[in-house]
Amino acid sequence: MPADPSRVIANLRELAALTSDANGAQRVAFTATWQRARDWFADKLAELPASYRIERHRDAAGNSWVTLPGASPKSLVLGSHLDSVPNGGWLDGALGVVTALEVLCGIARDSDGRPPFTIRVVDWADEEGARFGRSLFGSSAFAGTHTIAEDRARTDANGVTMEAALAECGIEIDRIGEAASERSNIAAYLELHIEQGPVLERLGLPLGAVLGTKGVERHAITFLGETAHSGSTPMADRRDALAAAARLALEIRPIAMRHTDAVCTMGSLKTFPGIVTAVVGRAEATLDQRDLDAEVLATLLREAQQASRRFADEERCTVEWSRILSIEPVPFHPELIELCREAIVETLGAPAHSLPSGPLHDAAEVARLGVPTVMMFAQSLRGISHNKIEDTREEHLSQAVAAFDRLAAKTIAWIESQPD
Ligand SMILES: [Zn+2]
């Protein structure tokens, strides 16, 4: 019996009604509203027939696991996150968790509660990092890429420490790494999520297969020239740091556009002394570059650095770069991407589109461990997310549930075909 999209949509609406206000979803991790969302989810499990023998537990990092034990301990994990940003949308994260539960129930029904492989649903704790600025909290603890020392120093806007907020939820900060014990026997991980961008809508497609999450190179760039009087300094004598920075701001566009999905953003620029009567002596910019291909990402960085030196020379300035952050691209599993494409084609009767994800997702933390992983995206209306107006057409939600259900069935057959 296939998954029932109308039940998924009704459940999502119920969850939204319970955890949103006039400004949108308020399921910020480690708050009372988030706990309410998780209690609601637990109640949904309690309604299921006892014959399904479903087990439920929270790991040391607060990730919530639902397990339908199968004949083999080898498991297929389906997941996403129930937490949201403040004033968030109703689908970000919740679509994946609620759909995963529906798929698990369908497998339980079809197998009389005893599938050939173990099926698990995970609700990752604090994907968004909205309160303490640490995204992918639960999945990174699971993956072993967590940072307890830094996390201990984190506080929210009211000065509450992350350690205290975790303790409120029964999580001991020193033990979050023990979530790694959940890794055993995972044969594959699947995640359904809204795209949160405009690509699928522009192509007129309801669904897409995700190729992986883009890597990030983020740098601070400082151009140094010479501050001088704006009235007395002839144009030819100037060493204008802003001129060099401005030329780079324009040059990063062709640098990015030579590659299909690459993006480069100069998101901030400060000038010093920053007054109307002085030539700019120092300009401080930030540059964020992303691509799915590590070589392309390295090329983006190299070309931007070369351009910055050329512009600095031509403006008789100097330039310095310092790295703020570097995240490797995480490509998903090629065979699972293919299964995802097949599931989309069979559901829609139309060709499948594959795209990289600009935002990071919990799935990247799982894939980083070497677990075969893929994500499916559902179209986001107007490409908007992290906003109360976030939405997806009901028809597209139904297609997403049906296609994800198919993908799960295909993945189970794929696990069966793998050598032990
Ligand atoms: Zn999300």
Task: Using pLDDT thresholds of 50, 70 and 90, give the confidence band for residue 18.
Answer: very high
List, for residues 342-385, the tens digit of each pLDDT value. 999 999 999 999 999 998 999 999 999 999 999 999 999 999 99
Given 3.40.50.720, 3.40.630.10, 3.90.550.10, 3.30.565.10, which CATH number is that of 5-213+329-417? Answer: 3.40.630.10
Please tell me the distance from the alpha carbon of residue 321 to that of residue 156, in angstroms, as a whole number: 30
Calculate how far, in angstroms, residue 126's C-alpha sits from the geometric centre of ligand 1: 10
Each domain of the chain, given as residue ranges in start order, spans 5-213+329-417, 215-327
Calculate how far, in angstroms, residue 116's C-alpha sits from the geometric centre of ligand 1: 30
Q: What integer is the mean pLDDT of 223-239?
A: 97
List, for residues 289-334, the tens digit of each pLDDT value. 999 999 999 999 999 999 999 999 999 999 999 998 899 999 999 9
Question: Against a cut of 0.95, is the pTM above it?
Answer: no
Quick one: pLDDT at residue 166? 96
Calculate how far, in angstroms, residue 192's C-alpha sits from the geometric centre of ligand 1: 10
Please tell me the distance from the alpha carbon of residue 168 to that of residue 170, in angstroms, as a whole number: 6
Architecture of the 215-327 domain: 2-Layer Sandwich (3.30)
List, for residues 80-116, the tens digit of each pLDDT value. 999 999 999 999 999 999 999 999 999 999 999 999 9
Calculate how far, in angstroms, residue 128's C-alpha sits from the geometric centre of ligand 1: 7
Calculate how far, in angstroms, residue 258's C-alpha sits from the geometric centre of ligand 1: 29
Both tokens of residue 256?
């990015």
For the chain, the average pLDDT equals 96
Calculate how far, in angstroms, residue 92's C-alpha sits from the geometric centre of ligand 1: 5
Calculate how far, in angstroms, residue 85's C-alpha sits from the geometric centre of ligand 1: 9
Q: Where are the beta strands (DSSP E) in 292-397?
A: 318-327, 330-331, 354-357, 373-378
Quick one: pLDDT at residue 69? 96
Residues, CB-to-ion distance under 5 Å, ligand 1:
92-93
Q: What is the percent of the chain where pLDDT is above 70?
A: 100
**Contact residues for 378 (Cβ-Cβ < 8 A; gap 6+):** 91, 95, 192, 193, 194, 195, 200, 206, 207, 392, 396, 397, 399, 400
Calculate how far, in angstroms, residue 180's C-alpha sits from the geometric centre of ligand 1: 22
